[in-house]
Every structure is written in structure tokens, then in C-alpha cells.
Amino acid sequence: MASASSQVLWLIRRSKLSLVGLFIVAGFVVTGILAPFIVPYPEDARGETYNIEERFQPPSWEHPFGTDEYGRDVFSRVLMGARYSLIIAVGVVGLALLIGIPVGLVAGYVGGRVGSMLMRVTDMFLAFPPLLLAIALAATLGRGLFNTIIALSISWWPWYARLLYVRVTSVKNMPFVDSARLLGLGRLAIMFRHVLPNSLTPVTVQAALDMGSAILEAAGLSFLGVGVDPSTPEWGLLVTEGWASISSAWWISLFPGLAILVTVLGFNLLADALRESLDPRIRRIALTRRILG
């Protein structure tokens, strides 16, 4: 079983695109963490000021992304937005794992009636198209950063439950688990010390790569008016709030959207390369084709 890090290394050596992806993701995470310290106009980023003379300035050296209807620096707000997107991404995926892992683990390891019932419930959640359940929940809970994270993670965990379930059912029949059982280890001990660690990798890798989709969907919720609170510099909301003046000041909506696009692209490029590398058929085929020319 290849470890996640060695897989990633293999990938990067193989494909330039995945390297680009890696750079983007790293840049995003660093920006998200450092945003409050590196933004050129911290007050603008936090929305604590406005400036009449500077309204609707097109991009310039001073304001690379222009200024918005309050005369705030869009670049600062987009940088700050990385922080919110990072919080949302980590929050959604983390919470989803927190629900999905126990469900998948118990369903897969205990199996039987309990297992199939848990998976039935999981499948019910999967019957909703992506984002739809989150929309219903967000409409019920109301706006806000925390509610957005909850709404998204509730519609998200079933994927991880299912993924882990599949993994666990195959791992639990592997020889080393049998030998642990023969050694007289308890069920719980086997579950947590042997089965879980050996099943977790694909789920966590998948989860990390899903952060891009989490950012995308949170932006969608903001656009539909059920996302984060107004005037939070979340990217989706920045695009939405710029909509009103898009015909005269396109930059207010353009740049935050571009930020979403680039970030999600980063995650997806990594995911794509990973998927390809994990698909043994394509790897074999790639070899064949190189021989055939």
C-alpha cells in the first residue's frame, strides 16, 4: 500500500499539470493563513472603512483588482477571502469526515443488519443531487459561516461513509486482520488499531482533494442568498455583491470568481492526476501506447 506522500511525489514527477495544481493549493493555504498580515489594506479587507473618492476605480498599480462600490480595495478583499474559503473548506471536509468515518467504519466492520441499515441511510442522502440538500438545510438554518459549514458537511459525509465502507469491507478480510483476531485482540482494538488505519488513506486523500468542491459549493450558496453573512469577504459573496455594478465595474465580480476558479482548478488538477495514477488500466495503456507510438 503506497503511502499518500509517495503517491503525490510520484505524481508530481510524472505530470507538470499536477505540479501546477500543487503550487496553487500551497499558495492558497499559505494565503489563507497569512491573509490578515499580508493584505495591503487591512481595513478594506475587514470592511471597516469606506472611501468616497476611491469608488469604482479600475485596476491599477495601487489597486491591482480595482476598488468596489465603497471604494475598498478588491485585491485585499480577495486575499482575505482565501481565509474564509480555507475555513469553509477545512470545516466542511473535517466535519464530514467526523460523521462519515464512524458510519462507514461501523457499517463495514460490524456489517450485518446494522451495517446495511447504516448504508441505507447513507444512500438516502446520496439520492439528493449535490448542493440541493445543503440548500434546504441552509434555508432552514439561516445564513452564517457556521451554518454554511454545517449545511454543506451534512450533504457531504455520505460520500466518505460509502468510500470507507467499501475499503473496510475489503480490509477486514485481509490476512493481517485475521491474525490479529487469532492473537485474541478485541473487536474494538482490531477496528481502531488495524482496520481503520489501513482503510483511511484513500478517504483522507479524497477529502483533501474535495476541498475545492467545498469552496465551489459554498460560493454557490452565497450566490443563492443562503451562504455566509452579508459583507463577509467570502469569494462567492464578493462575486454576488459585485453583480449589481457589473456593467460599469466588471472587476468587482471578475477577480473573486477568478480566485475561485484558480483555487478549485488547483485541487482538481491534483485530483485528476491522482485518479489517473491510481487507475492501473490507464497506466498500463500509457505504457503500451508509448511503445506503439
Partner 1 sequence: MGILARGASRTVFVAAVALVMVLILVAAYLATRPSPGEAPEESPAPTTPAETTTPAQTSPAAEASPTPAKEEKTIVIYASLSEMTTADPSTEFSNSIIWMPLVYEPLVWYDPLEDRLIPGLAVEWESSDNGTVWTFRLRENAKFHDGTPVTAEAVKMSIERTIALGQGAAFIWDPVDRIEVLDDYTVRFYLKYPAPLAHIAAASYGAWIFSPNIVKYAGASNLTDPKVADWFNQGNEAGSGPYRLVKWDPENEVVLEKWEEWWGWREPGYEMASPNAPDVFIIKIVKDAVTQERLLLTGDIDIAQYVPLENVDRFEKDPGFVVAVKPSFQNLLMLINTKKPPLDNPLVRKAIALAIPYEDIVEVARAGVARVASGPIPHGMWGHFEDFTYEYNLEEARKLLAQAGYPDGIDRTLLLVYTAGDIYEKRTAELIKTSLAKIGIQVEVRPMSWEEQWSLALSGWDNPEAAQDLFIFYWWPTYITPFDFLYNMFHSENTLFNLAYYQNPEFDKLIEEAVLYEGYDRERALSLYYEAQKILYEDVPAVPLWDSVDVRVANARIGNLEKAINPAYPTTIFAQVLSVEG
Partner 2 sequence: MSKAYVAKRLAMLFMVVLGVLVITFVITRVIPARPELLWAGSHPTEEQIERARKELRLDEPIYVQLYYYLKDFFTGDWGVSWRTRQPVLQDIMESLPATLELVFAAFAIAVMVGIPLGVLAAVRYGRLADGVVRVFSVLGASAPVFWIALIAQLVFSSWLGVLPGAKRVDESVVIETGFREITGFMILDSILQLNAAVLLDALKHLVLPALVLSLYPLGLTARMTRALMIEALNEYHSISLQVWGLPRRLVVYKYALKNVIAPVIASLGLSFGYTIIGAFMVELVFVWPGIGLYAALALLSFDYPAVIGCVVVVALVYSLVNMVVDIVHASLDPRVKL
Answer yes or no: are the C-beta atoms of 149 and 92 closer than 8 Å. Answer: yes
Q: Contact region for partner 2 (CB under 8 A) — 25-33, 35-43, 116-124, 179-187?
A: 116-124
Out of 125, 245, 258, 268, the only residue in the binding site for partner 1 (CB under 8 A) is 245
**Binding of partner 1 by 186 (CB under 8 A):** no
By a kind-dependent CB cut-off of 5 to 8 A, residue 226 interacts, out of partner 1, partner 2, none, with partner 2
**Which of 59/144 has CB closer to partner 1?**
144
- Shortest reach from residue 230's CB to partner 1, in Å: 6
By a kind-dependent CB cut-off of 5 to 8 A, residue 69 interacts, out of partner 1, partner 2, none, with partner 1
DSSP letters spanning 126-176: HTSPTTHHHHHHHHHH-SSHHHHHHHHHHTTHHHHHHHHHHHHHHHTTSHH
**Binding of partner 1 by 181 (CB under 8 A):** no
Out of 74, 211, 226, 228, the only residue in the binding site for partner 2 (CB under 8 A) is 226
Rounded Cα–Cα distance for residues 272 and 86 (Å): 21
H or E stretch covering 252? helix 251-278
Per-residue cell: 52: 468616497
Rounded Cα–Cα distance for residues 138 and 33 (Å): 26
- Kindly report the backbone phi and psi dihedral angles of residue 50, in degrees, each rounded to the nearest multiple of 5, phi listed first: -150, 165
Q: What is the SS3 assignment for 15-30?
A: CHHHHHHHHHHHHHHH
- Shortest reach from residue 241's CB to partner 2, in Å: 12
**Binding of partner 2 by 152 (CB under 8 A):** no
Answer yes or no: are the C-beta atoms of 74 and 65 closer than 8 Å. Answer: yes
- Shortest reach from residue 52's CB to partner 1, in Å: 5
Out of 22, 56, 128, 245, the only residue in the binding site for partner 2 (CB under 8 A) is 128
**Binding of partner 2 by 289 (CB under 8 A):** yes
Residues in contact with partner 1, counted by CB under 8 A, come to a total of 19
CA distances from residue 288 to 223, 279, 285 in whole angstroms, order as listed: 47, 15, 5
User: Per-residue x/- marks for partner 2, 173-212, CB under 8 A?
Assistant: ---------------------------------------x
List residues near partner 1 by CB under 8 A.
47-50, 52, 55-56, 69-70, 225, 230-231, 243-249
